[in-house]
Chains A and B, each alone.
With several copies, the nearest count.
Chain A
Amino acid sequence: MSTPASHEAHVHAHAREPLTVATVRFAGDSGDGMQLTGSQFAHEVAWAGNDLATLPNYPAEIRAPAGTLYGVSSYQIQFGSIPVFTPGDQLDALVAMNPAALKVHLPDLKPGGILIVNRDAFVPRNLQKAGYESNPLDDPTLRERYRLIDIEISTLTHRAVEGLGLSHKEAERCKNFFALGVVSWLFNRPVEPVLAWLGKKFANRPELREANARALKAGLAFADTLELIGPAYDVAPAHLPPGLYRRISGNQALALGLLAAAHRSGLVMLYGSYPITPASDVLHEMARLRNFRVRTFQAEDEIAAVGAAIGAAFGGGIGVCGTSGPGLALKSEAIGLAVMTELPIVVVDVQRGGPSTGLPTRTEQADLLQAMYGRNGECPVVVLAPATPGDCFHMAFEAVRIALEHMTPVLLLTDGYLGNGSEPWRIPELDSLPEIRPPWAEDPETFAPYARDPETLARRWAPAGRPGFEHRIGGLEKQDGTGNVSYDPDNHDHMVRVREEKVRRVAREIPPLEVQGADEGEVLVVGWGSTYGAIHVAVSRAQARGHAVSAVHLRHLNPFPPDLGPLLGRFRRVLVPEINRGQLLRMLRAEFLVDAVGFNRVRGLPLHAAEIEQAIEQLLEPGARTGAGSRADSGQGADA
Chain B
Amino acid sequence: MTSTTARLTRKDFASDQDVRWCPGCGDYAILRAVQNTLPELGVPREKIVFISGIGCSSRFPYYMNTYGFHTIHGRAPTIATGLKLTDPELVVFVITGDGDGLSIGGNHLLHVLRRNVNLNILLFNNRIYGLTKGQYSPTSEQGKVTKSTPYGSIDRPLDPIRVALGANATWIARTIDRFVPHMQQMLRRAVAHPGTAFLEIYQNCNIFNDGAFAELTDKRTRSDNVLEVEHGKPLRFGSPEAPKALRLSCLDVEIATCDPETGACADPWIYDATDPRHASLLTALEHPPYPVPIGVLLERQAPEFVASHLAQEREVIERLGPGDLAAMLRGHDTWRVE
Contacts and interface: CB of A to CB of B under 8 A. Distances in A.
B70 A248 contact: no
Contacts of B312: 290
B62 interface: yes
B291 interface: no
A316 interface: yes
Residue among A49, A66, A244 having the largest count of chain B Cβ atoms under 10 Å: A244
A466 B334 contact: no
Given A314-B79, A471-B68, A61 B325 contact: no
Nearest to A465: B87
Contact of A467 (B46, B78, B331): B46
A312 B51 CA distance: 13
Contacts of A303: 75, 78, 108
A575 interface: no
A62 interface: yes
Given A62-B130, A280-B148, A472 B67 contact: yes
Given A311-B78, A468-B1, A472-B68, A295 B335 contact: no
Contacts of B155: 298
B313 interface: yes
A43 B333 contact: yes
Contact of B335 (A5, A291, A299, A311): A5
Interface stretch (B19-27, B226-234, B292-300): B19-27
Interface string B41-65: 0001111011100101000011011
Contacts of A315: 82-84, 86-87, 90
Given A1-B334, A284-B147, A470 B325 contact: no
Interface stretch (B132-140, B179-187, B243-251, B262-270): B132-140
Given A311-B83, A474-B69, A65 B78 contact: no
Contacts of A312: 82-83, 85-86
Contacts of A463: 87
Given A356-B72, A472-B62, A268 B86 contact: yes
B334 A244 contact: yes
Residue among A66, A334, A467 having the largest count of chain B Cβ atoms under 10 Å: A467
A242 B83 contact: no
B337 A474 contact: no
A295 B313 contact: yes
Contacts of A319: 82, 86
Contacts of B61: 472, 474
A404 interface: no
A288 B319 CA distance: 13
A465 B21 CA distance: 28
B15 interface: yes
Interface stretch (B99-107, B189-197, B273-281): B99-107
Interface string B4-21: 000000000001011111
B261 interface: no
Given A299-B78, A470-B45, A357 B132 contact: no
B81 A445 contact: no
B221 interface: no
Given A245-B335, A283-B148, A299-B78, A270 B85 contact: yes
B337 A242 contact: yes
Give the contact-size bracket for chain A.
35 or more
Interface string B283-315: 000000000000000000000000001001100
Contacts of A430: 325-326, 329
Interface stretch (A134-142, A256-264, A492-500, A599-607): A256-264
Given A317-B87, A427-B329, A472 B135 contact: no
A627 interface: no
Contacts of A427: 329-330, 334
Contacts of A316: 86-87
A298 B110 CA distance: 15
Interface in B123-179: 129-133, 135-136, 138, 147-151, 153, 155
Interface in A451-471: 463-471
Contact of A444 (B1, B131, B150, B329): B1
A287 interface: yes
Give the contact-size bracket for chain B.
35 or more
Given A428-B329, A471-B68, A291 B336 contact: no
A367 B50 CA distance: 30
A289 B326 CA distance: 13
Given A316-B86, A468-B2, A47 B54 contact: no
B316 interface: yes
Contacts of B337: 5, 49, 237, 240-243, 245, 426
Given A47-B333, A49-B337, A312-B86, A300 B46 contact: no
B149 A287 contact: yes
Contacts of B104: 274, 300-302
Contact of B148 (A46, A284, A473): A284
A634 to B, nearest CB: 27
A248 B335 CA distance: 13
B102 to A, nearest CB: 8
A62 B46 CA distance: 31
Contact of B82 (A311, A336, A357): A311
Interface in A56-87: 60-66, 68, 70-71
A246 interface: yes
A559 interface: no
A337 B89 contact: no
Interface string A489-532: 00000000000000000000000000000000000000000000
A193 B87 contact: no
A242 B208 CA distance: 42
Nearest to B136: A298
A300 B130 contact: no
Contact of B20 (A64, A297, A357, A468): A64
Contacts of A467: 1-3, 44-46
A204 interface: no
A288 B66 CA distance: 35
Contacts of A244: 330, 334-336
A206 interface: no
Contacts of A291: 313, 316-317, 320-323
B72 A326 contact: yes
Nearest to B83: A311
A464 B67 contact: yes
A245 B336 contact: yes
B83 A464 contact: yes
B20 A274 contact: no
A65 B313 contact: no
A293 interface: yes
A246 to B, nearest CB: 5
A310 interface: yes
Nearest to A474: B70
Contacts of B45: 467, 470
A580 interface: no
B214 interface: no
Interface of A: 1-5, 43, 46-47, 49, 60-66, 68, 70-71, 193, 237, 240-248, 256, 259-260, 263, 268, 270, 272-277, 280, 283-284, 287-293, 295-312, 314-317, 319, 326, 333-334, 336-337, 341, 356-357, 426-428, 430, 444-445, 463-476, 484-485
29 contacts: A2-B336, A3-B336, A61-B21, A240-B337, A256-B328, A259-B325, A260-B329, A276-B132, A291-B313, A298-B135, A298-B149, A300-B103, A300-B110, A307-B71, A307-B75, A308-B81, A311-B80, A311-B86, A314-B83, A315-B90, A326-B72, A357-B70, A464-B83, A465-B87, A465-B89, A467-B45, A470-B45, A470-B66, A476-B70
Given A283-B147, A319-B86, A464-B46, 18 more contacts: A1-B334, A4-B336, A47-B333, A47-B335, A61-B22, A62-B133, A287-B148, A292-B322, A292-B325, A295-B85, A297-B85, A300-B103, A300-B111, A316-B87, A465-B90, A472-B17, A472-B67, A474-B68
Nearest 6 CB-CB pairings of A with B? A311-B82, A307-B78, A474-B70, A308-B82, A292-B323, A468-B1
